[in-house]
């Protein structure tokens, strides 16, 4: 069934209607006129009734037209819809654990990492302020939030029971700085062919910024990353899963100068990012120490490949970000092609 059409006097009245009905995240919306929605669908080569996903628990159907409406509302341009559509497809993959991440008290948000030619074509931001917006990043990330709100009923206090949440629930989207990095892009590491655009989606806790500007030693730099992950294990969640590590140019240039690739970073962090049960005592969790062997070890990563290393950020500053998983390995990162089916033949591409 197609979307309803509401008649309003102007954009101001449209915004009032959306606010009264709870169809917005609190920010103003762009009126999703039939012309704007059609332009977005045309740009993404999507038919209105194209099925983008089915919510795995309540079996709610998500069509391209409904996603396009929310993308327009979020401020997306027509070309941005292809990225949003791919992210919705990834979000509906059972490995992502959509229902749990949307309803949990833990307050997770969908992190969108964009790779491939679409980054330059759309002007996505991958350098300065990479996690703080710029380009169409904010609108793309916000479109996912509106999809969760309006199509899946993830209303705070109704289905969304986040105790605190975090700003990433408004928008959480960045692109990898492929041109400024000597490393293989994340999507290609995850099996996407060179030259194909893709999104990687993961249900995440808030980013944790770290800094090390006092060394050129690759092990010392990576020890800073591992130490922050250990802190997250003690302060938040012990369960291993897909951590995301965002490495800016200053630090990755030092790592590359020492001959380190992403695989070297992953292996070092995998070896060092682990805690023992007794470490919880220093975090006020003595009761957890008493439940087992104090020397029992808990790795943050089941394997080095569980660490997703993303090259992004400004050219100056020894800052990096560790983005923890929401629920360990029960919710996994999912990579989906933009405008192409990675698992099927060319005849099935959009």
What are the mean pLDDT values of the chain's consecutive 10-residue runs (350 residues total)? Answer: 80 89 93 97 98 93 98 98 98 96 94 98 97 94 98 95 95 98 98 98 97 98 98 95 98 98 98 97 94 96 98 97 96 96 63
For residues 128 and 333, give the distance between their C-alpha atoms in angstroms, rounded to a whole number: 25
The pair of structure tokens assigned to 22 is 């709870």
Residues with Cβ within 8 Å of residue 170, at least 6 apart in sequence: 25, 27, 141, 142, 145
Residue 241 near residue 329 (C-beta atoms within 8 A): yes
φ, ψ for residue 3 (rounded to 5)? -75, 150
In this predicted structure, what is the pLDDT of residue 51? 97
291: exposed, middle or buried (Cβ count in 10 Å: 0-12, 13-18, 19+): exposed
User: Three-class SS of residue 59?
Assistant: coil
In this predicted structure, what is the pLDDT of residue 347? 46
Q: Would you mind telling me the total number of residues written for the chain in this entry?
A: 350
In this predicted structure, what is the pLDDT of residue 179? 97
For residues 107 and 101, give the distance between their C-alpha atoms in angstroms, rounded to a whole number: 8
CB atoms within 10 A of CB 9: 8
For residues 107 and 323, give the distance between their C-alpha atoms in angstroms, rounded to a whole number: 13
**Residue appearing with tokens 């080095």:** 304
In this predicted structure, what is the pLDDT of residue 145? 97
In this predicted structure, what is the pLDDT of residue 12? 86
User: Three-class SS of residue 279?
Assistant: helix
Torsion of CA 136, 129, 119, 200, to 10 degrees: -100
In this predicted structure, what is the pLDDT of residue 10? 85
In this predicted structure, what is the pLDDT of residue 89? 98
> Per DSSP, what are the bridge partners of residue 110?
203
């Amino acid at each position: 069934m197609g979307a309803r059409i509401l008649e309003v006097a102007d954009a101001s009245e449209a915004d009032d209607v959306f606010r009264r009905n709870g169809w917005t995240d609190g920010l103003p919306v762009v009126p999703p006129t039939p012309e704007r929605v059609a332009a977005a669908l045309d740009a993404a080569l999507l038919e209105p009734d194209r099925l983008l996903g089915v919510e795995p628990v309540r079996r709610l159907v998500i069509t391209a037209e409904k996603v396009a409406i929310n993308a327009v509302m979020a401020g997306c341009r027509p070309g941005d819809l292809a990225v949003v559509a791919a992210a919705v497809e990834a979000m509906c993959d059972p490995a992502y654990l959509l229902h749990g991440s949307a309803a949990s008290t833990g307050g997770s948000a969908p992190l969108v990492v964009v790779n491939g030619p679409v980054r330059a074509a759309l002007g996505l931001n991958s350098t300065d302020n990479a996690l703080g917006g710029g380009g169409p990043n904010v609108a793309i990330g916000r479109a996912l939030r509106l999809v969760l709100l309006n199509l899946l009923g993830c209303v705070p206090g109704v289905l969304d029971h986040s105790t605190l949440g975090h700003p990433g629930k408004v928008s959480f989207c960045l692109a990898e700085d492929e041109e400024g990095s000597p490393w293989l892009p994340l999507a290609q590491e995850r099996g996407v062919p060179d030259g194909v655009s893709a999104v990687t989606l993961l249900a995440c806790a808030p980013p944790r910024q770290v800094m090390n500007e006092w060394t050129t030693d690759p092990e010392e730099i990576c020890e800073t990353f591992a130490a922050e992950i250990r802190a997250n294990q003690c302060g938040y969640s012990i369960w291993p899963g897909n951590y995301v590590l965002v490495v800016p140019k200053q630090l990755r240039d030092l790592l590359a100068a020492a001959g380190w690739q992403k695989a070297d970073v992953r292996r070092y962090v995998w070896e060092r990012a682990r805690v023992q049960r007794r470490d919880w005592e220093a975090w006020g969790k003595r009761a957890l120490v008493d439940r087992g062997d104090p020397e029992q070890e808990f790795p943050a990563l089941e394997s080095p490949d569980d660490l997703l290393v993303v090259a992004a950020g400004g050219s100056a500053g020894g800052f990096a970000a560790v983005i923890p998983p929401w629920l360990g390995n029960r919710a996994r990162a999912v990579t989906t092609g933009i405008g192409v089916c990675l698992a099927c033949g060319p005849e099935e591409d959009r």
